[in-house]
Amino acid sequence: MNATLLDSNTFPAFEVYTARDLERIPQLERLPRQARFDMQVVSTVLPFRVNRYVVEHLIDWDAVPDDPIYQLTFPQRGMLADEHYETIATLLERGAEKAQLEEAVKRIRQALNPHPAGQIELNIPRDDSGEPIWGLQHKYPETVLFFPAQGQTCHSYCTFCFRWAQFVGDKTLRIATSQARQLTEYLRRHPEVTDVLFTGGDPMVMKTSHLAAYLEPLLEPEFAHIRSIRIGTKALTFWPFRFLDPDEGDALMRLFERVLAAGKHLAIMAHLNHWRELEPEATQRAIARLRGIGATLRGQAPLIRHINDDPDVWAKLWQKEVELGIIPYYMFVERDTGAKQHFAVPLVRCWTIYRDAASRVSGLARTVRGPSMSASPGKAEILGVSTVAGERVFVLRFLQARDPQWTYRPFFARYDENATWLDELEPAFGEREWFWSAAYRSMTERPAPAVEPVN
């Protein structure tokens, strides 16, 4: 984006492409016909949405298909298992009836573990009568996640996203609410909660007035126990003009200033997958504007094959974040959902990449915690690989856990060079189960609620 356009405060119109618009994206014309058909097949099952700014200013089309931002936003053949791909490709090629195609898509989506890590079974809180409170998740005692209905989409979708089920148009898979009172009533009853995370989707797709309707009640004295408000967003890189626009952007800054004036810590949890995302001037100006009002910015991302599975990429990302005033926060492991088979990296390689990247940056960038698996029992961090009592093992700990007593207690898993997730590991030293296993089983005994349509 050139400086003249930015200086004029006349920003580009937001234009989005979905699966129905693949033929409208001129840059795709240079790709082979088969690659375009692959996109059609994959986007029939998994969500696809990209905006014109990303297409024109973040992707190096001369480097496609290897360009990391292209891999991050456009569907790839490997995102579906062979049998799933062939099922959908065959139906599309023969022009199957809509109902038949939808039934096949539904079966495949259910096979892709749409709500991993106990999001439905364990994370949805309940009211005093035992009814589920939709639109909230409460996994760790101090933190509540809130899913505002108006924020359950994104400026562009990431191909690896573990919340893909929110975006496919199936109300039985979606977690959201439009009722701010559900959040405030729950927080009144739970004074142990200190942090509220607004998530999605991306809350920054909402108009400022909608976001204010959710945020401003939390500034009242009765919610003094809410000390931090977090907003998870990809908008800093996928649509930085959300923060720069003289109308909505200015209104957003005034809202954030009111949050800070009320004594709340405001944290922008920026999803940053590659250092290339931080190069545009518009993104750097948006970051500077948020820092200028006193917001704290933290960067987090999963380690993803085809996109950032390289220590040089992570070292450069962390260093760039520090230069721009963003605190490197988490390196996650790709979750066991959706297109995991395409993006997952073995745990031992995750740890090696993390260690090698950390060795190339100063202590200011070593605030990153990880590699971390957001598994059902908790956030399990890989501390390293070691040999203990003659056995090669993974050394792990929970950074957060369903039971706070599990936090920071080291535990050991048998070394497995192919494992990509916690449930693929086995306890070391002949132990039959993990130290938390019995307590965790007791937490899973209640029946899972059935997903209801958004209020």
- Domain 136-443, CATH among 3.90.650.10, 3.90.1150.10, 3.20.20.70, 1.10.10.60: 3.20.20.70
- Length reported for the chain: 455
Q: Which pLDDT score, from 0 to 100, does residue 288 have?
A: 98
The predicted model gives 20-24 an average pLDDT of 95
The answer to whether the beta carbons of residues 235 and 242 sit under 8 Å apart is yes
Choose the weakest-confidence range: 52-61, 163-172, 262-271.
Answer: 163-172
In this predicted model, what pLDDT tens digit does every residue of 184-208 receive, in sequence order? 999 999 999 999 999 989 999 999 9
CA distance 84 to 87: 5
CA distance 287 to 47: 28
pLDDT above 60: residue 3: no
Confidence band, pLDDT 50/70/90 cuts, at residue 167: confident
pLDDT above 90: residue 120: no
- Which two tokens mark 343? 């993006």
Q: Which pLDDT score, from 0 to 100, does residue 198 have?
A: 97
Q: Which pLDDT score, from 0 to 100, does residue 177 have?
A: 76
Q: Which pLDDT score, from 0 to 100, does residue 361 have?
A: 98
The predicted model gives 140-147 an average pLDDT of 96
Q: Which pLDDT score, from 0 to 100, does residue 240 have?
A: 98
CA distance 294 to 82: 49
Q: Where along the chain do the CATH 3.20.20.70 domains lie?
A: 136-443
361-368 long-range contacts, Cβ below 8 Å, gap at least 24?
Answer: 361/315, 361/318, 361/319, 361/322, 362/322, 364/322, 365/315, 365/318, 365/319, 365/321, 365/322, 365/328, 366/328, 367/327, 367/328, 367/329, 368/318, 368/328, 368/329, 368/330, 368/331
- CA-based Rg of the chain, rounded to a whole angstrom? 22
Q: Which pLDDT score, from 0 to 100, does residue 291 have?
A: 98
The predicted model gives 286-311 an average pLDDT of 98
The predicted model gives 206-233 an average pLDDT of 97
% pLDDT > 90, the chain? 85
DSSP string, 126-165: B-TTS-B-TTEEEEETTEEEE-BGGGSS-SS--TT-TTGG
pLDDT above 60: residue 451: no
Residue with tokens 């984006």: 1
CA distance 110 to 125: 23
pLDDT above 50: residue 4: no
The predicted model gives 288-300 an average pLDDT of 98
DSSP string, 101-134: HHHHHHHHHHHT-SS-TTTTTTTS-B-TTS-B-T
Strands (E), 376-431: 378-388, 391-401, 411-414
Q: Which pLDDT score, from 0 to 100, does residue 453 have?
A: 46
Query: Which of 107-116, 119-128, 168-177 ranks highest by mean pLDDT?
Result: 107-116
Q: How many helices (H) and strands (E) does the chain have?
A: 15, 13
Q: Which pLDDT score, from 0 to 100, does residue 122 have?
A: 87
- Cis omega (within 30 of 0) on the bond before 65? yes
Whole-number mean pLDDT of the chain? 93
- Residue 228, H or E segment: strand 228-233
Q: Which pLDDT score, from 0 to 100, does residue 78 have?
A: 97
CA distance 427 to 386: 14
Choose the weakest-confidence range: 75-79, 86-90, 165-169, 385-389.
Answer: 165-169
The answer to whether the beta carbons of residues 176 and 134 sit under 8 Å apart is yes
The neighbour count for residue 421, using CB atoms within 10 Å, is 18
Confidence band, pLDDT 50/70/90 cuts, at residue 174: low
Query: Which of 3-17, 166-180, 419-433, 440-454 ranks highest by mean pLDDT?
Result: 419-433
